[in-house]
A and B are shown apart, each in its own frame.
Chain A
Amino acid sequence: MKHLLSIEDLSRDEIEEILDTAVSMHEVQHRDIKKLPTLRGRTIINFFFEDSTRTRSSFELAGKWLSADTINLTGKGTSISKGESLRDTVMTIDAMGVDMMIIRHMASGAPAQIAQWTKCSIVNAGDGTHEHPSQALLDAYTMRNRLGDLEGKHVAMVGDLTHSRVFRSNLLCLRKLGAEVTLVAPPTLLPSGMGPWAQAEDVTVSHDLDAVLPTVDAVMMLRVQRERMSGGFFPTAREYAVTYGLTKERLRLLPDHAVICHPGPMNRGLEISGDAADAAQSLVLDQVSAGVAVRMSILYHLLSGEGTSA
């Protein structure tokens, strides 16, 4: 495994290997000395063209805790703002001899394109509305921790599916791990080209959140991405919250064992109420904590082992 561009590229065994290693990596987070010598002498660039709190800082911590040297770059502070092309910028960084670039970009497919231009390992940390594979892996890890093996478990993903790369990666990941998925969204926020998923046996589509909630093991609320919306996808925020938000009242519909996930950042009061976000079943902060462990595992799998030297 050289790059992590899409969950599509991973087999079920590879996903499980990454999640299993993350269990041991998670243990390091509770040590006094949070440091492993594993990636000593390796250099990782965090190249983020879009804002991010969780993903960027957790990739940076993951690299640091594995003893790699990490550098953060944003689109703004680089020569891109002087008019240099993306290709020239990444080739410049590549020429400095880095081992890995972790890329977040507003254009779908940018990390895959960059992988063609450089020799180093590329990790997709979110590209446009395409994928966010490390998020899907950490979501699976968090759910697996609480629910056990995900085979046969029922997960509902609710909200803005059209603009969500988290949803796309999670759908692939959960199905590979044997979970059944229900997609709940207003018709305007269901991605076009739903054909292949709508026909799959393990994927169902619903517009009725109240009917779905009592049957789930996990419900994943997706952020309403106002910054990607160009038109009227729903009449008002209030109406969206009433119809598709995880409100205090809806919380009662969930089975006792069911868990609530949200990849963050949350719009409290819109897709998720404060009560739901802070409820005992909410795994929002567990997801963040698992994020570092899962990303350590990803870096380890991509940067150690035979034939990985750049």
Chain B
Amino acid sequence: MSPARDQVPEFDEGTPGETAEVSGRVVLAKSEITRALRRIAHEILEANKGAQDLVLLGIPTRGAPLARRLAASLHDVEGVEVPVGTLDITMYRDDLRSQPVRQMERMEVPEGGVDGKVVVLVDDVLYSGRTVRAALDTLADLGRTRAVRLAVLVDRGHRELPIRADYVGKNLPTAKSERVSVRLAEVDGTDQVVISGTEGDR
């Protein structure tokens, strides 16, 4: 018997693949998203002492365009092309048996692989930490990285695993009942982060 949906630990996906207008309070507008990504790019370069051996891997759906934007920022700052890819974590999720069958996403590992590289995982929202846990397992099957870092646009708290981000665009304290929607031009046609589901917003 499968457990009821509300008993299943929630996977920290920022937003489902919908593009409809999201109502709520805008917490990050386009310019702020751009600024946050630029700051994260600087922080990555500072911590890594340059761009050598860096690989950016975005977690679908919205982590993938974020990783590409970060790579563009790194290029602007440092003038170096940092390899970018996407990491499909579908097969590594811990809720595969309690959810309907999911279609896999595309996996793109840049040429040169991840062996000996400093991999920066990129995602839109950090929530329970279960996506990141799955991403770490996926990475371990791809090769032996030198280090793994985590960059997220929004950290909304409510971790269910001992995981934290190295680079955060915005820390956003939320209630569990609230919903954080990251919308990106590449997927949704617009750039904004919206928080909805709170009494005060209605």
**B142–A36 contact, CB under 8 A?**
no
**Residues of the A chain whose Cβ atoms lie less than 8 Å from the Cβ of B100:** 305-306
Is B97 a contact partner of A301 (Cβ separation < 8 A)?
Answer: no
Residue of B99, B137, B141 touching A305 (CB-CB under 8 A) = B99
B88 contacts chain A at the CB level, 8 A cutoff: yes
Any B CB within 8 A of the CB of A32: yes
Q: Which residues of A contact B141 (CB under 8 A)?
A: 31, 33, 35-36
Q: Would you give the shortest CB distance from A162 to chain B, in whole angstroms?
A: 37
Q: Is B26 an interface residue (CB 8 A)?
A: no
Q: Is the CB of B137 within 8 A of A37?
A: yes
Indicate whether A17 reaches chain B with its CB closer than 8 angstroms.
Answer: yes
Q: Does B11 contact A (CB under 8 A)?
A: no
B91, B97, B101, B102 — most chain A CB neighbours (10 Å): B91
Residues A300 and B1 in contact in the complex (CB < 8 Å), given A36-B141, A37-B137: no
Report B1-28 residues with CB < 8 Å from chain A CB.
1-2
Interface pair B107/A37, CB less than 8 Å apart: no
Option from A32, A36, A305 in Cβ contact (under 8 Å) with B92: A36
Which of these, B1, B92, B104, B143, contacts A24 with CB under 8 Å?
B104
Closest CB in chain A relative to B36 CB, distance in Å = 31
Say whether chain B's binding surface is mostly helix, strand, loop, or mixed: loop
**What separation, in Å, do the CA atoms of A158 and B143 have in the docked complex?**
45
A200 to chain B, nearest CB (A): 31
Most buried by B among A21, A25, A31, A306: A306
Interface size class of B (residues with CB under 8 A): 20 to 34
B52 at the binding interface (Cβ < 8 Å): no
Contact B2 A307 (CB under 8 A): yes
Which residues of A, 292-310, contact B by the 8 Å Cβ criterion?
Answer: 300-301, 304-309
Which A residues are in CB contact (< 8 Å) with B98?
A: 306
Most buried by A among B100, B141, B142: B141
CB of B107 within 8 A of CB of A38, answer no
Q: Is the CB of B97 within 8 A of A309?
A: yes
Give per-residue flags for A22-33: 1 if the beta carbon is below 8 A from chain B beta carbons, else 0: 001101000111
Which single member of A36, A305, A309 contacts B101 (CB below 8 Å)?
Answer: A305
Bound: A306/B96 CA distance, A: 8
Task: Write out the residue numbers on chain B whose beta carbons fall within 8 Å of the beta carbon of A20.
Answer: 103-104
A27 touches B1 (CB 8 A): no
Residue of B nearest to A1 (CB): B101
How far apart are the CA atoms of A33 and B100 in the complex, in Å? Answer: 27
The verdict on A300 contacting B92 (CB below 8 Å), with A24-B107, A33-B141 known, is no
For the complex, is B159 an interface residue (Cβ under 8 Å from A)? no
CB within 8 A of B103: which of A21, A36, A38, A308?
A21
Total contacting residues, chain A, CB less than 8 A: 22
Contact string, B88-116, partner A, CB cutoff 8 A, digits 1/0? Answer: 10011000111111111111000000000
Please measure, in the bound complex, the distance between the C-alpha atom of A20 and the C-alpha atom of B104, giving whole angstroms. 8
- By the criterion CB–CB under 8 Å, are B101 and A304 in contact? yes
Return chain A residues, CB-CB under 8 Å to B105.
24
B107 near A300: Cβ-Cβ < 8 Å: no
Q: How far is the CB of B157 from chain A (nearest CB, A)?
A: 27
Tell me whether A37 and B104 are in contact (CB under 8 A): no
Interface residues of B in 70-103 (CB under 8 A from A): 88, 91-92, 96-103
Contact between chains at A31 and B96 (CB < 8 Å) = no
Q: Which of B105-130 contact A (CB under 8 A)?
A: 105-107
Question: In the bound complex, do residue B104 and residue A21 qualify as a contact, i.e. CB atoms below 8 Å apart?
Answer: yes
B106: contacting residue among A24, A38, A66, A304, CB under 8 A: A24
Q: Which residues of B contact A309 (CB under 8 A)?
A: 1-2, 97
Q: How far is the CA of A25 from the CA of B107 in the complex (A)?
A: 10
Distance A288 CA – B98 CA, assembled complex (angstroms): 32
* Given contact pairs A31-B141, A31-B142, A38 touches B2 in the complex (Cβ within 8 A): no
- Which positions 35-92 of chain A face chain B at CB distance < 8 Å? 35-38, 66
Q: List B contacts of A36 (CB < 8 A).
A: 91-92, 141
Q: What is the distance, in angstroms, from B28's C-beta to the closest C-beta of chain A?
A: 32
Residues of chain A from 114 to 142 with CB closer than 8 A to chain B in the complex: none
Q: Given the complex, which residues of A lie within 8 Å of B143, measured CB to CB?
A: 32
Closest to A307 in B: B2
Distance from B48 Cβ to chain A, minimum over Cβ atoms (Å): 25
Interface pairs A-B: 7 shortest CB-CB: A305-B101, A24-B104, A36-B91, A38-B91, A304-B96, A33-B141, A306-B2
Beyond A31-B142, A301-B101, list 9 extra A-B contacts (CB 8 Å). Answer: A20-B103, A24-B104, A24-B106, A31-B141, A32-B142, A305-B96, A306-B2, A306-B98, A308-B97
Q: Which residues of B contact A (CB under 8 A)?
A: 1-2, 88, 91-92, 96-107, 137, 141-143
